Amino acid sequence: MSNQLKITFLGTGTSQGIPVIGCRCDVCVSDDPRDKRLRSSILVQYGETNVVIDAGPDFRQQMLTCGIDHMDALILTHEHKDHIAGMDDVRAFNRISGDAVKVYCEERVSEVVKTEFSYAFKNFRYPGIPKFDIHLIDDKTPLVLQGEPFMPVRCMHYKLPVLGFRIRNFAYLTDLSSIPEREISKLQNLEVLVIDALRHEPHISHYNLEQALEVVEHLKPGKAYLTHISHGMIKHSEVLKQLPANVEPAYDGLKLIL
């Protein structure tokens, strides 16, 4: 069994994606495929295990594009629609495996999922509805999936507590505006850091580019990738020229082998 950790960026966009409906800005009309961004999500693979972090509105398209035929776990960072809206499409994996998909999230997120997809939790199960097997997690206990620890990292998305995750020397932090000081120790000695960088201008609930780069400078990972990028950022090719040598914007379909 391979010991490699493979990361695929399924989506690197913000809640509206890029292009934004009705927008004719330079980013939205760009013909560079790196400027076409689905809602943020990643696929983590090791051995024969497939773990998806977040299932937004583009989940079906992302699963078809990456071509996986089974999902061992779905982890949710938080309950916003751009991170859970595609969960109905786990039905395809239910059919393939004959079993419920294991979903890992905090209790607050679980309650939202049960409300948003209430039909999946009724006593009477209508044929074909999705099957979720929800497991509660917290920010203090590593989540071990098929022998691989996923360390939750508490972050704040303005006033909303959200989770990032560290897997080996890789960390994924999306949708955040601050990291509590007590969590910094979980982010030392990283080979790769993926971090939210919404746009150039400040935002109340996301890091902007300057703030994301400050975190990178503080943590000093070997390499950093920016994600959850909006059309408020300049085009991929242009922002790339402004970044330090060890930082670049992620883009949909980018694959990393660690």
Inside any domain, residue 17: yes
Q: Which helix (H) or strand (E) holds 81?
A: helix 81-84
The confidence score (pLDDT) of residue 125 equals 82
User: How many structural domains are present in the chain?
Assistant: 1
Inside any domain, residue 83: yes
Q: Which helix (H) or strand (E) holds 83?
A: helix 81-84
Instruction: Tell whether the model's pLDDT for residue 1 goes beyond 80.
Output: no
Inside any domain, residue 1: no
- The whole-angstrom separation of Cα 191 and Cα 168 is 9
The string of DSSP letters for 45-56 reads EETTEEEEE---
**What residue spans of 67-117 are helical by DSSP H?**
81-84, 91-97, 107-116
Instruction: Tell whether the model's pLDDT for residue 146 goes beyond 70.
Output: yes
202 close to 208: Cβ distance less than 8 angstroms: yes
Q: What is the CATH number of the domain that holds 174?
A: 3.60.15.10
Inside any domain, residue 222: yes
* Average pLDDT for 218-232: 98
Instruction: Tell whether the model's pLDDT for residue 83 goes beyond 80.
Output: yes
pLDDT digits (tens, 9 = 90+) for 22-71: 999 999 999 999 999 999 999 999 999 999 999 999 999 999 999 999 99
220 Ramachandran zone, left/alpha/beta (phi>0; psi -120 to 50): left
250: how many CB neighbours lie within 10 A of its CB? 25
Helices (H) and strands (E) in the chain, counts: 6, 14
Inside any domain, residue 192: yes
DSSP state of 138: -
100: how many CB neighbours lie within 10 A of its CB? 15
pLDDT digits (tens, 9 = 90+) for 232-241: 999 999 999 9
Q: Dmax over Cα atoms in the chain, in whole Å?
A: 56
Per-residue tokens: 36: 């076409």
- The whole-angstrom separation of Cα 7 and Cα 5 is 7
Task: Categorize the per-residue pLDDT at 124 as very low, low, confident or very high, splitting at 50, 70 and 90.
Answer: confident
Instruction: Tell whether the model's pLDDT for residue 2 goes beyond 80.
Output: no
Quote the mean pLDDT of the chain. Answer: 97
Domain region containing 176: 6-257
